Amino acid sequence: MATAVEKSAGCQSCHTTTDSMTMHESPGVILGCTDCHGGDSSIVSSEGDIKNKSLMEQAHVLPSYPDDWHYPHSANPKATYTLLNREAKEFVRFVNPSDLRVAKEACGACHLETVQAAKRSIMATGAMLFGAATYANNILPFKKYILGEAYTPDGEPSAIKGPPLKDADAHWNTHGILPMLYPLPSWETTPPGDIFRVFERGGRNISNLFPETGLPNALGLIQRIEEPGRPDFRQSNRGPGTGGRISVPVLNAHKTRLNDPLMWFLGTNDNPGDYRTSGCGACHVVYANDRDPRHSGPYGEFGHTGKTQTSDPTISRQ
């Protein structure tokens, strides 16, 4: 108990009032602030010095990209995309110990099995989305999906394995369990395979040469005989390659990964229902999708714009 108090002493000299001493209200689990968040709990502020920025920066872990985080504002910024992958894992842990990149260090001492299962869940990997997109668009020939989203603690794309299985095929047939998933390939290096060209638009005159990106028809000859109002620059010349030499469905899969993020990233923080953190806290930190008590119960009265309702005096509720 004394050790836990020591690990929280400096933090509580500023964060004087909180909703709970720790997120573990059970007396059977005794933790200090830095057990989960990191930081330096030896930095103590005196009474009335709660807004001392110098002391705060000594105690806190600071971001590598302060402008992107709108530092020192504590609200999660909008549309962070891959910011968590670029950020130092120490800061990721400080702002959200439940993030899947660092949850093993913060929560794994007690909840390792749960953390590992969360990383392999379909809400984290998105295996069904990426598998269906690549199969339906002729990128990969596998109905037994092999692609999924996962990252290392340093934010690098990673393959992810399930627990060893004696009969992987039987588990797949019976329960849909996949033994391993690989990261999505880079869209700019993936050979085009979508020969049906479902996204293509273009005129009736098709050259046998690739259009030059940014300068599709340097001489202007095609425009002279093209139908009025029809574009002369299409995705490709209807061969198995494309003028842009990219695979459009893979590009769209990456756009979906970033614009409609799963558990590895923060919510977009720009619409009701998307004001969420990453990792385990995306579900376990309560927020309201709307203000109707029929849907959001007692949380509806606090609004649906992601603003905190904590009693902590150091965190703005605006």
- Please report the pLDDT score of residue 218 as a whole number: 55
- Please report the pLDDT score of residue 37 as a whole number: 92
- Please report the pLDDT score of residue 198 as a whole number: 45
Residues 139 and 251 occupy one common structural domain: yes
Number of domains in the chain: 2
For 115-129, how does the pLDDT look when each residue is reduced to its tens digit (9 = 90+)? Answer: 999 999 999 999 999
Would 184 be classed as within a structural domain?
A: yes
Would 304 be classed as within a structural domain?
A: no
For 77-106, how does the pLDDT look when each residue is reduced to its tens digit (9 = 90+)? Answer: 999 999 999 999 999 999 999 999 999 998
Would 146 be classed as within a structural domain?
A: yes
- Please report the pLDDT score of residue 245 as a whole number: 58
Would 42 be classed as within a structural domain?
A: yes
Would 221 be classed as within a structural domain?
A: no
Percentage of residues of the chain with pLDDT beyond 90: 34
Would 185 be classed as within a structural domain?
A: yes
Domain of 11 in residue numbering reads as 1-60
The residue among 60, 88, 105 that closes a domain is 60
Please tell me the pTM assigned to this model: 0.81
Residues 253 and 171 occupy one common structural domain: yes
Q: Looking at this protein, which amino acid is placed at residue 34?
A: T
- Please report the pLDDT score of residue 222 as a whole number: 52
Residues 31 and 135 occupy one common structural domain: no
Would 166 be classed as within a structural domain?
A: yes
- Please report the pLDDT score of residue 5 as a whole number: 83
- Ranges of residues in the chain with a pLDDT under 70 are 1, 48, 192-246
Residues 154 and 253 occupy one common structural domain: yes
The residue among 11, 36, 60 that closes a domain is 60
- Please report the pLDDT score of residue 313 as a whole number: 83
Residues 254 and 171 occupy one common structural domain: yes
- Please report the pLDDT score of residue 241 as a whole number: 46
Residues 42 and 144 occupy one common structural domain: no
- Please report the pLDDT score of residue 172 as a whole number: 85
User: For the chain, what is the mean pLDDT?
Assistant: 82
Would 51 be classed as within a structural domain?
A: yes
Residues 253 and 175 occupy one common structural domain: yes
Residues 136 and 23 occupy one common structural domain: no
Q: Is the dihedral of CA 37, 41, 46, 47 positive or negative?
A: positive
The residue among 17, 43, 60 that closes a domain is 60
